[in-house]
Structure 1
Amino acid sequence: MDDIRVNELKERMAKGESLHIVDVREDWEHEEANIEGSTLIPLGDLPTRLSELDNLKGEEVIVHCKSGGRSGRAKQYMTGQGFSKVRNLLGGMDEFSQS
């Protein structure tokens, strides 16, 4: 599935869409700034905590990190585990915070 840009995510949030957003940064990064309603599962914990997201296997899931690298790896891993609609937030929190 195609990745998502910050402007599209913000437009959908403004419309009040119900979104499944997973933050794969570390706890301290999430505490500094986060996307309201996101679920924090650090990338290193993803293999052991992926079952927490099993109910979303057929749903769109947006993953993000600081700039897009870790979330790109999360997308690849999740897709390999049967998640069919994973989208990486391009630019991550860096871009989200600036726009």
Structure 2
Amino acid sequence: MKHSILTLALLFISCASLAQPLLLDVRTQAEFDEDHAKGAIHLPFNEVKEKAADLLPNKSQEIKVYCRSGNRAGKAISALKALGYTNLENIRTLENAKQFAQP
């Protein structure tokens, strides 16, 4: 039994380390509709406090936040930190986000 538990724990750790970071686009709906990083979740920065819990249930997941210049992403990160999110990075722009996008 101990062997099975250890195997499952190691499998979980391996899968977690392979997980892609979540890309969070905090631009307006119009900006998102025009173009966005593949696989990105859209959450306008002014709606973060109201909708983050529903869209981002794992508060320790790696989240890379972007907008047009990094300003709104910074504001969104501040709001997310206040809500208890811990693994956040401001990657500033859509161009940067596309480097992290899922193939």
TM surpasses 0.5: yes
Verify the 8 A CA contact 2:21 2:61 in the aligned structure 1.
no
Letter in 2 for 1:68: G
**Tell me, what secondary structure is at the counterpart of 1:55?**
coil
Structure of higher RCO (CA pairs closer than 8 Å, 6+ residues apart): 1
Q: Name the count of aligned residue pairs.
A: 81
After superposition, what is the alpha-carbon deviation per residue over 1:18-74, rounded to whole angstroms, capped at 9, x for unaligned? Answer: 221110000100111100000001011111101124422011111110110000011
Larger radius of gyration: 2
Extract unaligned runs of 5+ from structure 1: 1-15
Residue 55 in structure 1 maps to residue 30 in structure 2: no
Identity of aligned residues (%): 25
Extract unaligned runs of 5+ from structure 2: 1-17
Instruction: Map 1:1-99 onto structure 2 (within 5 A).
Output: 18-90=20-92, 92-93=93-94, 95-96=95-96
Distance 1:21 1:56 in 2: 13
Verify the 8 A CA contact 2:45 2:72 in the aligned structure 1.
yes
- How does the TM-score come out when normalised to structure 1? 0.72
